[in-house]
Amino acid sequence: MLILGIETSCDETSVALVADGTRVRSLVISSSSMLFSQTGGVIPEDAARRQVECMQPALQQCMANASCTPADIDAIAVTSGPGLLGSLLVGTTTARVLSALWNKPLIGVHHTLGHLSAPWLTPPESQDLPSPTFPALALSASGGHTELWLRHSHTANTLLGATRDDAAGEAFDKGAALLGLPYPGGPAIARAAESGDALAFAFPDPLGNKDTLDFSFSGLKTALRYTLRDHGIAAPIPEAVCADLAASYQEAICRHLVHKISRALQQYPTPTVHIVGGVSANTRLRTLLTETLPATDICIPVRIAYCTDNAAMIAAAGYFLHAERGDSAFAPFVTEASSRLPQQAIAP
């Protein structure tokens, strides 16, 4: 089953063709991160305007890369939420028009369910298909959400914990801004941290004494601001000092994530942990997971492009929704954009 996926929940414009929920035939991602690096964050109106400009070229390039025609496509899957409403409307409007024009079934996909489906994606040249298993714990961490799930199947999931304030990716972005590093903050802090000492500065353990699987990152951002103040560190921050601050701050975020995963495994023992979302691209997080959980199968998307927002994960989620729910997954006239799509779309 070949599904056309469309993802426009934030600043990316992405279109993909995925066969049977795994094989990525084509993936095009047009990012506006360079544009917003000048503003220190995404401006919603500018993001949507840019996506309107990028959608048609991205669609044409995706189809051409796979030598695909509309007749080859079995269904269309699109992110219907949550996200920036203007951006979502670009994607859902495009999907609904194509669905009507090409007479194709349409599947609305919750953005987080897309991320949760990313471990199954494989590039076209790969000879091996990923084989993540259920049940599994899954951490989905990005700039817009940080959630811990117990996965029973592709469409049956139980939410175990979520951030009480900032998302992990948001904490990276805000921390980078305090350090004078560019947007997006996750990659910028990771690069700066490569030459830094993760023990140079102490940061608190958020919710350390709380019996909860929730996350909290706003305190780390505040602690970074106070660290700069208390040590008299002002812009421009010397490169060596910035490296130590970045490494210490990154370490605190990653250890908080790993601590909650470890606690969840004690309560819900599973042989596999899936790590998805943009933060899953962080090298230190990956290393810390393997060091802390040597007996656990850590499953992470095989390419960085599958970690960040992309249409291939939306196409995969659409396929799995249809595989487990049949034609009831098709909703051509109710697939509307929603900036606050409820989690019932993931855990019905």
Q: Tens of pLDDT along 12-71?
A: 999 999 999 999 999 999 987 777 776 777 888 999 999 999 999 999 999 999 999 999
pLDDT of residue 295 exceeding 80 = yes
Which fold, 2-129+305-345? Nucleotidyltransferase; domain 5 (3.30.420)
Arithmetic mean of pLDDT over the chain: 93
Averaged over 277-284, what is the pLDDT? 98
pLDDT of residue 135 exceeding 80 = yes
Which fold, 136-301? Nucleotidyltransferase; domain 5 (3.30.420)
Q: What is the reported pLDDT for 281?
A: 97
The pair of structure tokens assigned to 314 is 């939306």
CB 261 within 8 A of CB 286: no
Averaged over 125-143, what is the pLDDT? 90
Task: For the full predicted model, state whether its pTM sits above 0.75.
Answer: yes
Averaged over 212-233, what is the pLDDT? 97
Query: What's the pLDDT band for 134 if we cut at 50, 70, 90?
Result: very high
CB contact set of 52 (below 8 Å; sequence gap of 6+): 90
Range(s) within the chain of domains with CATH label 3.30.420.40: 2-129+305-345, 136-301
CA dist 326 and 319 (Å) reads 10
Q: What is the reported pLDDT for 343?
A: 65
Angle at 253 between CA 278 and CA 174, to 5 degrees: 70
The pair of structure tokens assigned to 146 is 């940080």
CA dist 145 and 130 (Å) reads 25
CA dist 23 and 312 (Å) reads 9
